[in-house]
């Protein structure tokens, strides 16, 4: 057993024993596990002349060492495990079914860079992948031996938690810098490896974000350091191989706490740039990669309301900009006159029904990633004759990516060879496992390169996916993607449903293939994704309509979609389970406290629930970056609006529904005490006997446990909870 978990379990047993007599009657102890009851210690939160009493503020322990706090979390874990014991065999069965559907070797796109082809591979039954490279020979690329440059399993050995952030390789192909996290706190350590010897160098850089970028001298690296308290990555440092981190030079510090800071390198390796990303403004600062001792300068100075990204191709520069185009347009600029917008040349105009999401500029072609009617499409422009063509796919709802990894959608991050005339694409849908295609950019011809082989008896033809547009209360059409097994689906309102949503930060929830949901479909469930406002599925305006003082649209959309799906016969009114994680779990907390009658159960993963109290405290990690998303409660109008939906503040004495809450003790994005406080307060107020479970992983953070197979246990446990809850339904429910 992991050390911290063993300690927590011991504390949990002591905690339960200490409060045993005050929690349950003798009869209740015979039929139900002992329910943890958190003590109340009133804490006054004062703002705008108002006083809010938080009885569970004491559960916040930034050191994560307080015995009372760890004891309570362990008691909740013990209680949850006891409540889930009746479905333990079902959990094991589900895990087996899920694992049997996982491909033994998941497909990932190769990337060609500086004469090498890089790829991530999984060996049979492995939790972690192997990273390889193969030298590209002029005559026969396949004749070159493939070398292993990184084995994640070796790096993970001996650690309760492990995540590889990423890696970067010098221009001369000799040195690799890679980043690892062994706590789940997203505080990475940079390590260096000599790829000629296969050995790591003795030096390390600590407290960084996951990104690193090499200068062209093969000795200088740029990285972003996190503030250890706020966890903001706002300082860019320069490091030279063979020197101490204490001697590194601070080359940029972001003063605007609304902005996120990222590092990239242009596809032709000529520029290193800092990307400044905010909700209402964004842009870049550049440095020639051949002159690492120089200073970064703005590509175009940041301006409120203006968001842009630039792309370099030889001496040509292109800008994706929202200047004069809410859905963005593409313009060509001259480097010398780039700050004078009157000299910009429009290449692709802004369009009201098409969102220009990102751009890939190659020597002969420009690839546009667009979105229309909630669906991604790729448009290719021939740079010599201006002719355009759409790359075609076969389904109405799908997910398609250009990248070294199927989880990477932002093609601005790629290091693709600019001379390439073929485009490698990863394609999947709710019914189609990952397939790799190669498109000839000159002809648009598509060739299937590889297709995922799903083990077991999976047959894509047995399932049907749909894309619906359902009306919200203000008549806005909300996109919904769903999938079900044909033989088990009855459009008479009898099927159970698993309804998922995120709805924040302008992020998209694509129609990906999800092996873990297949055992649920095989049990008659309908799986649906509600693409509510606050996400980005319908463009920038869709995001704006669900953030800050429009956040209630996100909540209302989900409730309205639920009711409409039931009305149309896609789900039974008492068999709908709602699920979301992180910001999506804020949504789940809101619907669980506002309309618990609509759901048989609600799943809240690493949930942000105490919106007002958290956003009032700038010492909490990442808070100052979040004002543009959630609001600033120091402003009276924002405070009142946030308070009106904040799940923690909406808890009242009433009946609720079944809830399954999970968290990570070392979560850097949503602190563990958010779900802990929510569950403690909910226990003190709920008047029903529905299940309320809190499971805290004592060794992980926001992303949960590492490892491909380990992660499936979490899904199996969640689905066992759902199926057990459904089986135990009564007429009163």
In angstroms, what CA-CA distances link 135 with 111, 146, 196, 585?
12, 7, 13, 45
3-state secondary structure of 82: helix
For 253, the token pair is 């510090």
Enumerate the active-site residues.
582, 667, 702
> 219 - beta bridge partners?
none
The span from the CA of 105 to the CA of 120, in Å, is: 10
Contact yes or no for 381/388 (Cβ under 8 A): yes
DSSP string, 438-469: EEETTT--EEEEEE----TT--GGGEEEEEEE
Contact yes or no for 281/304 (Cβ under 8 A): yes
Q: Which segments of 242-298 are extended strands (E)? A: 249-253, 260-265, 271-277, 282-288, 297-298
The span from the CA of 83 to the CA of 81, in Å, is: 5
The span from the CA of 722 to the CA of 720, in Å, is: 5
Contact yes or no for 102/515 (Cβ under 8 A): yes
The span from the CA of 157 to the CA of 162, in Å, is: 9
Q: Which residues of 376-387 are buried (b: 16+ CB within 10 A; e: fewer)?
A: bbbbbbeeeeee
Burial environment of residue 197 by CB neighbours within 10 A (0 to 12, 13 to 18, 19 or more)? exposed
Closest by CA to 695, choosing from 728, 720, 727, is: 720
For 168, the token pair is 């970067």
Contact yes or no for 606/662 (Cβ under 8 A): yes
The span from the CA of 460 to the CA of 295, in Å, is: 54
Compute CA 149 distance to the chain's CA centroid, rounded to the nearest angstrom. Answer: 27
Angle of the 67-84 helix axis to the 710-727 helix axis, nearest 10: 60
> 167 - beta bridge partners?
178
The span from the CA of 104 to the CA of 91, in Å, is: 21
Contact yes or no for 530/480 (Cβ under 8 A): yes
Contact yes or no for 431/357 (Cβ under 8 A): no
**Residue keyed to tokens 């479970």:** 693
The span from the CA of 626 to the CA of 232, in Å, is: 11
The span from the CA of 185 to the CA of 669, in Å, is: 8
3-state secondary structure of 365: strand
Written in H, E and C, the secondary structure of 44-80 is EEEECCEEEEECCHHHCCCCCCCHHHHHHHHHHHHHH
């Amino acid at each position: 057993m992991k050390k911290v978990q063993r300690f927590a379990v011991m504390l949990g047993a002591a905690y339960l024993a200490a409060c045993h007599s005050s929690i349950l009657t003798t009869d209740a102890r015979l039929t139900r596990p002992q329910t943890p009851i958190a003590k109340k210690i009133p804490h006054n939160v004062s703002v705008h002349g108002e006083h809010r009493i938080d009885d569970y503020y004491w559960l916040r322990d930034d050191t994560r060492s307080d015995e009372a706090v760890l004891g309570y979390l362990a008691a909740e874990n013990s209680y949850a495990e006891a409540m889930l014991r009746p479905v333990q065999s079902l959990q094991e069965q589900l895990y087996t079914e899920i694992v049997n559907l996982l491909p033994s070797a998941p497909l990932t796109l190769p990337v060609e860079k500086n004469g090498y082809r890089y790829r991530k591979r999984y060996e049979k039954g492995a939790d972690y992948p192997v990273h390889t490279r193969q030298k590209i020979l002029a005559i026969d690329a396949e004749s070159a031996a493939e070398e292993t440059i990184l084995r994640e399993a070796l790096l993970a050995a001996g650690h309760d938690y492990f995540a590889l952030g990423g890696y970067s390789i010098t221009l001369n192909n000799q040195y690799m810098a890679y980043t690892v996290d062994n706590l789940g706190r997203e505080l990475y350590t940079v390590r260096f490896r000599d790829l000629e010897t296969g050995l790591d160098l003795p030096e390390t850089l600590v407290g960084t974000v996951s990104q690193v970028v090499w200068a062209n001298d093969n000795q200088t690296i740029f990285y972003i350091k996190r503030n250890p308290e706020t966890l903001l990555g706002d300082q860019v440092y320069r490091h030279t191989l063979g020197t101490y981190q204490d001697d590194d030079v601070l080359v940029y510090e972001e003063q605007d706490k609304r902005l996120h800071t990222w590092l990239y390198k242009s596809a032709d390796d000529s520029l290193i740039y800092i990307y400044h990303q905010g909700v209402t403004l964004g842009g870049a600062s550049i440095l020639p990669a051949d002159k690492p001792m120089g200073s970064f300068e703005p590509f175009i100075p940041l301006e409120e309301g203006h968001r842009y990204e630039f792309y370099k191709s030889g001496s040509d520069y292109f800008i994706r900009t929202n200047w004069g185009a809410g859905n963005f347009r593409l313009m060509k600029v001259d480097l010398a006159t780039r700050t004078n917008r009157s000299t910009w040349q429009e290449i692709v105009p802004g369009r009201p029904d098409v969102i220009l999401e990102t751009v890939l500029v190659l020597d002969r072609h420009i690839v546009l990633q667009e979105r229309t009617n909630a669906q991604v499409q790729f448009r290719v422009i021939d740079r010599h004759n201006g002719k355009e063509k759409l790359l075609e796919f076969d389904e109405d709802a799908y997910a398609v990516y250009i990248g070294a990894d199927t989880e990477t959608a932002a093609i601005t991050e790629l290091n693709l060879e600019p001379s390439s005339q073929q485009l490698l694409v990863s394609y999947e849908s709710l019914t189609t496992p990952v397939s790799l295609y190669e498109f000839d950019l000159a002809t648009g011809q598509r060739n299937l390169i590889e297709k995922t082989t799903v083990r077991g008896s999976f047959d894509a033809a047995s399932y049907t996916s749909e894309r619906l547009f359902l009306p919200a209360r203000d008549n806005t059409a909300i996109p919904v993607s769903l999938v079900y097994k044909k033989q088990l689906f009855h459009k008479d309102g009898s099927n159970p449903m698993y309804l998922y949503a995120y709805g924040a930060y302008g992020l998209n929830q694509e129609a990906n293939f999800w092996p873990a949901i297949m055992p649920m479909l095989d049990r008659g469930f309908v799986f649906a994704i509600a693409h509510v406002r606050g996400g980005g599925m319908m463009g920038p305006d869709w995001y704006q309509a669900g953030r800050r003082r429009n956040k209630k649209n996100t909540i209302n959309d989900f409730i309205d979609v639920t009711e409409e799906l039931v009305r149309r016969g896609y789900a039974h009114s008492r068999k709908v389970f709602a699920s979301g994680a992180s910001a999506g779990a804020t949504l789940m907390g809101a619907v669980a406290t506002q309309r618990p009658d609509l759901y048989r159960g609600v799943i809240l993963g690493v949930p942000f629930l105490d919106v007002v109290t958290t956003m009032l405290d700038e010492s909490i990690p990442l808070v100052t970056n979040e004002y543009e998303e959630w609001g600033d409660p120091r402003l009276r109008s924002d405070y009142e609006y946030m308070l009106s939906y904040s799940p923690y503040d909406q808890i009242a004495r009433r009946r609720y529904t079944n809830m399954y809450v999970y968290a990570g003790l070392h979560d850097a994005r949503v602190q563990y005490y958010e779900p802990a406080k929510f569950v403690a307060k909910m226990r003190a107020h709920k008047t029903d006997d529905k299940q309320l479970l809190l499971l805290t992983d004592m060794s992980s953070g926001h992303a949960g446990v590492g490892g491909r197979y380990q992660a499936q246990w979490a899904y199996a446990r969640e689905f066992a909870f759902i199926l057990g809850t459904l089986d135990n339904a009564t007429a009163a429910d």
